[in-house]
Amino acid sequence: MAERILMKGNEAIAEAAVLAGCRYYFGYPITPQSELPAYLARRLPEVEGVFLQAESEIGAINMVYGAAATGARVMTTSSSPGVSLKQEGLSYIAAGELPCVLVNVVRGGPGLGNISPAQSDYWQSTRGGGHGDYRTLVLAPNSVQEMADMTIRAFELADRFRNPVLLLLDGVLGQMMEPVNLPEPTDFDPNKKAWALGYPGPRKGGRNLISTIFLEAELLEEHNWHLYQKYEVVSEAFSQGDLQDLSYEAHKVDDAEIILVGYGIISRILKTVVEKCRKRGIKAGMLRPKSLWPFPSRILAELSQKTKQFLVVEMSCGQMVEDVKLAVDGKKPVYFFGRTGGTVPSDFEILNEVDKIVRPD
């Protein structure tokens, strides 16, 4: 086991990316993720990699598109307004079925907003964000250890499914320092992807072409259904297959009369709330989605048979709550409590909401 060290979340992601075999980073400065590019600007040249500060987020994501097309492990990182700019390129990357990892250290929006932590990019992250029929895999870590681990997993998933994978965090997680066990370096060979531009091995069908244009409607329809069949395979792997460990964390849900649902930094607060509830005789539990797409709908549907109600807590005006409602399908009440604009709810506030629901008098 590698040594246990103290790291900032943003830096843990950067180092884990290097350990995963990522040698190419293209990005544009934006707060609150600045430690990440700064770390890689120093680190990548040490491993003969490339750190390039692009002219814009649009430039950066298109460099990622080009680099991913060669089969390399490549990453870009940004924060909310910057990720909006990257959506154009992300749509092309998804359409071209290219693997890459994108990190969004979410800040308060809409507009220029502020640089405080938020979860208000849930819709943008899970609903595609860019144009067209496509999906992005979205992982939501809640600790520095998980940021490192999920970064490695994100690169593996990107290659396995030839799809962009997004790590969704917030300013608290990015800036937080915690001890972390860094994983062992991955043995990654970029020259094994036979579809890649410049692939040095023997070619089966002549040249390699990465194109996202299908002028004939029937051909684009065929391509889109092909993508959706892939997304079905991804969903299946998360809900019942070998990726279930990445899908969700359930905490004290078996006897719970109320299940709190939250992801990322909120889930750390919810755990405290669960303990405080239980001390006061309220049987509370927590369900934390670790993967936001595919969403852990199956477990939520199962829990809706057991529990009495759900309370969804987000640092937004209510975005993930829609997915919870879809999963619960009207079988039990789904309540919502949110703080937005860069504010983080306290355990006390959430406890108050639980009280209102469980003990309405």
Partner 1 sequence: MEKVFSRPNSMTKTPFHYCPGCDHGVVHRLVGECIDELGVADRTIGVASVGCSVFSFDYFGFDFISAAHGRAPAVGTGIKRVRPGSIVFTYQGDGDLAAIGTGEIIHAANRGEKITVVFINNAIYGMTGGQMAPTTLVGMKTATTPYGRDAQLCGYPIRFSEIIATLEAPAYVTRVAVNTPANLMRAKKAIKNAFQLQKDGKGFSFVEVVSICPTNWGKAPNEAHKWLAENMLPVFPLGTLRDSAGIEKA
Nearest distance from C-beta of residue 54 to partner 1, angstroms = 7
If 0-12 CB within 10 Å is exposed, 13-18 middle and 19+ buried, where does residue 217 land?
exposed
- Decide whether 28 or 39 has the Cβ nearer to partner 1: 28
In this structure, what DSSP letter does residue 117 have? B
CA separation for the pair 259, 282 (Å, rounded): 11
**How does strand 258-261 pair with strand 74-78?**
unpaired
Nearest distance from C-beta of residue 49 to partner 1, angstroms = 10
- Decide whether 163 or 235 has the Cβ nearer to partner 1: 163
Nearest distance from C-beta of residue 325 to partner 1, angstroms = 35
Nearest distance from C-beta of residue 85 to partner 1, angstroms = 11
DSSP string, 256-320: -SEEEE--THHHHHHHHHHHHHHHTT--EEEEEESEEES--HHHHHHHHHH-SEEEEEESSSSSH
- Decide whether 66 or 341 has the Cβ nearer to partner 1: 66
Instruction: Give, for 13, the enclosing helix (H) or strand (E).
Output: helix 9-19
- Decide whether 61 or 265 has the Cβ nearer to partner 1: 61
Nearest distance from C-beta of residue 216 to partner 1, angstroms = 13
Nearest distance from C-beta of residue 213 to partner 1, angstroms = 6
Residues near partner 1 (CB under 8 A): 24, 26, 50, 52, 54-56, 58-60, 62-70, 72, 74, 88-89, 92, 96, 190, 197-198, 206-213
CA separation for the pair 100, 128 (Å, rounded): 15
- Decide whether 102 or 284 has the Cβ nearer to partner 1: 102
- Decide whether 58 or 301 has the Cβ nearer to partner 1: 58
Nearest to 96 by CA among 194, 205, 200, 214: 214
Nearest distance from C-beta of residue 326 to partner 1, angstroms = 32
CA separation for the pair 76, 63 (Å, rounded): 9
CA separation for the pair 99, 154 (Å, rounded): 10
CA separation for the pair 81, 56 (Å, rounded): 12
Beta carbons of 167 and 12 less than 8 angstroms apart = no
- Decide whether 75 or 274 has the Cβ nearer to partner 1: 75
